[in-house]
Amino acid sequence: MRAAVLQERGGTPVVVDHEEPSEQAGAVLIDVDTAGLGGWDVVGAYRESVDFPCVVRGEGVGRDQDGRRVYFGERSVLPFGALAERTVVPVPEVWEVPDGVDDATAITMAIAGTGALLPLEATRIEAGDRVLVVGGTGALGRIALPLARHFGAGRVVAAARDADALADLKSAGIADEVVTLTGEDDAARLRDASGGDGFDAVLDLVYGAPLEAAIAATRWGARIVNAGTLAGRQVTLGPGALLFRTLTTIGTGQRPPAEREQIWRRLLQLSTEVDLSMPTTHYALEDAATAWQAQVASPHGKVIVDIR
Ligand SMILES: NC(=O)c1ccc[n+]([C@@H]2O[C@H](COP(=O)([O-])OP(=O)(O)OC[C@H]3O[C@@H](n4cnc5c(N)ncnc54)[C@H](OP(=O)(O)O)[C@@H]3O)[C@@H](O)[C@H]2O)c1
């Protein structure tokens, strides 16, 4: 079968002929139709637990051997993964896709949707809150911003580095205000963008210096939740930074599969009630390296790889 294979940690995938997965107890053999990439695929040194070479893990939608249309997450039995014509995935990680849900939506509402929804809920948004999403132009951010409004936020602000992508969010009405992070006066400009004396709630998807600036742009009582590390894995906080504020990091992938499946089904329902539409760019499997590079370069939406 054709498969996009990572030869080494930190490498770019190469599309090669790869051995096929075979039937095995407790797992489902899947013919993959569509695969997705996300920030978690390319961040840092890929997964510490992965041996190389391996197929790009990704997530996807395909058909099991009974023809059932299923979603599967980044849990393929190693060395297999979503960016291949076939994979094999543990039974609890294989979820039937409801009729009427297209492949890209099924994929987008899974890891990205869950990664946005749960941390956002942990910010405990109250009616009228001023909410900041750092990393607002990415896949998780594009889901979190409309959900924040849906949960009652009075003002929704997005921050990231790319001014054009931010301007698109503002002109589409997805964000009330946007802040281009430059490393210069970020905290002061974020505070100004709050429209008051600082944010009540922050969803931070990048960590590092942007999180430090975001915390400095909050008011007393603020709830700050982190869910990603694209801007670094360290922050420096003085003793006053968290005075009368809380900072939490939320993980979603570590939760049991049944819980993640339930959240995914909730998001599929939410996506019919709230506009969670996402810019998507499609690539052929043979162009997996280009798709990977697009994800590394920050795609401002979802990277989808059409397998067949
Ligand atoms: N905790 C969980 O359960 C969970 C679940 C899923 C994902 N995640 C994590 O969430 C993060 C976001 O994932 P994603 O798929 O949304 O990624 P993405 O689509 O690549 O989006 C990343 C966002 O962060 C911004 N960004 C990237 N590097 C930045 C930097 N150095 N400084 C400031 N902004 C930066 C990007 O915009 P610009 O390029 O314009 O700056 C974009 O808005 C990843 O770290 C991922 O691992 C966590």
Residue ranges per domain, the chain? 2-97+278-306, 114-249
**Residue 29 pLDDT exceeds 90:** yes
Produce one character per residue of 161-183: b if its CB has 16 or more CB atoms within 10 Å, e if not: beeebbebbeeeebbbbbbebee
pLDDT digits (tens, 9 = 90+) for 196-207: 999 999 999 999
* CATH class (in words) of the domain with range 114-249: alpha beta
**Confidence band of 190 (pLDDT split at 50, 70, 90):** very high
**What's the whole-model pTM score?**
0.96
Indicate which atom in ligand 1 lies nearest the CA of residue 301: 19
3 within 8 A of 55, measured Cβ to Cβ: yes
**Residue 220 pLDDT exceeds 60:** yes
The residue whose CA has the least distance to atom 10 of ligand 1 is: 228
179 within 8 A of 193, measured Cβ to Cβ: yes
Q: For residues 74-103, give the mean pLDDT.
A: 96
- Residue in the block written with tokens 């939490």: 248
Indicate which atom in ligand 1 lies nearest the CA of residue 111: 6
**Residue 267 pLDDT exceeds 60:** yes
Provide the token pair at 256. 């049991």
The domains spanning 2-97+278-306 and 114-249 adopt the same CATH topology: yes
**Residue 45 pLDDT exceeds 50:** no
Indicate which atom in ligand 1 lies nearest the CA of residue 254: 3
160 C-alpha to center of ligand 1: Å? 9
SS3 assignment, position 96: strand
| DSSP E strand boundaries for the chain | 2-6, 14-17, 27-37, 54-55, 59-63, 69-72, 86-90, 94-96, 130-134, 155-160, 177-180, 199-204, 218-226, 246-249, 280-284, 302-306
Question: Across all residues in the chain, what is the average pLDDT?
Answer: 96
63 CB less than 6 Å from ligand 1?
no
DSSP string, 165-204: HHHHHHHTTS-SEEEE--SSSHHHHHHHHTTSSSEEEEEE
pLDDT digits (tens, 9 = 90+) for 222-251: 999 999 999 999 999 998 999 999 999 999
Phi, psi for residue 17 in degrees, rounded to 5: -80, 130
230 CB less than 6 Å from ligand 1?
yes
Architecture of domain 2-97+278-306: Alpha-Beta Complex (3.90)
60 CB less than 6 Å from ligand 1?
no
**Residue 80 pLDDT exceeds 90:** yes
The residue whose CA has the least distance to atom 13 of ligand 1 is: 39
231 C-alpha to center of ligand 1: Å? 8
**Residue 44 pLDDT exceeds 70:** no
- Residue in the block written with tokens 């409309």: 146
**Residue 1 pLDDT exceeds 70:** yes
